[in-house]
Amino acid sequence: HGPTRQLSSYHLSTMYHGLRGQLSSYHLSTMHHGPTRQLSSYHLSTMYHGTRRQLSSYRLSTMYHGTRGQLSSYHLSTMYHGPTRQLSSYHLSTMYHGPRRQLSSYHLSTMYHGPRRQLSSYHLSTMYHGPRRQLSSYHLSTMYHGPRRQLSSYHLSTMHHGPRRQLSSYHLSDIP
């Protein structure tokens, strides 16, 4: 599309039907709109139907809008159906709008269905609108279903509207 604009797409898929039935799909696409602006998307998914049945999906996308403006999104999810049945989901996204303005969102959740059945969810989001204005929200919840059955929920949110104005909320609950 010109000396700087470029569109590249790459796709690879492989399928096995033998002893380790496997389906693998790989996709990568990159787009350039100038010397600094770049959009990159990466996706990888793998599925196993054999003894270690596993489903894994990986996606990474990054966008650049200038020397500092950056938007990054990262997602990873993994599922195991074998002896250690596990479901893990990971998401991270970050957005920059200038030298100080930043929007960050982080999410992590993990689930275990094996001997230590555990459900854990973690979320963190932070937003900056200037040198001092800040909005932060933090959430963490954990659940245990094993010998020490425990349910824990943690939530923290903080908001700054100026040098002194601040609103803070904190919540914690435990169930043995």
Question: What is the domain partition of the chain in residue ranges?
Answer: 52-175
CA gap 176, 160 in Å, rounded: 35
Q: Mind listing the pLDDT tens digit for each residue in 11-67?
A: 333 333 333 444 444 343 444 444 444 444 444 444 444 444 444 444 444 444 444
Q: Mind listing the pLDDT tens digit for each residue in 29-41?
A: 444 444 444 444 4
Cβ atoms of 145 and 118 within 8 Å: the answer is: yes
pLDDT of the residue at 87: 41
pTM over 0.75, yes/no: no
pLDDT of the residue at 36: 41
Supply φ then ψ for residue 139, to 5 degrees. Answer: -135, 130
In angstroms, the Cα distances linking 97 to 66, 70, 104 are 10, 7, 11
Q: Mind listing the pLDDT tens digit for each residue in 99-117?
A: 444 444 444 444 444 444 4
pLDDT of the residue at 11: 37
In angstroms, the Cα distances linking 140 to 7, 114, 171, 175 are 40, 22, 10, 15
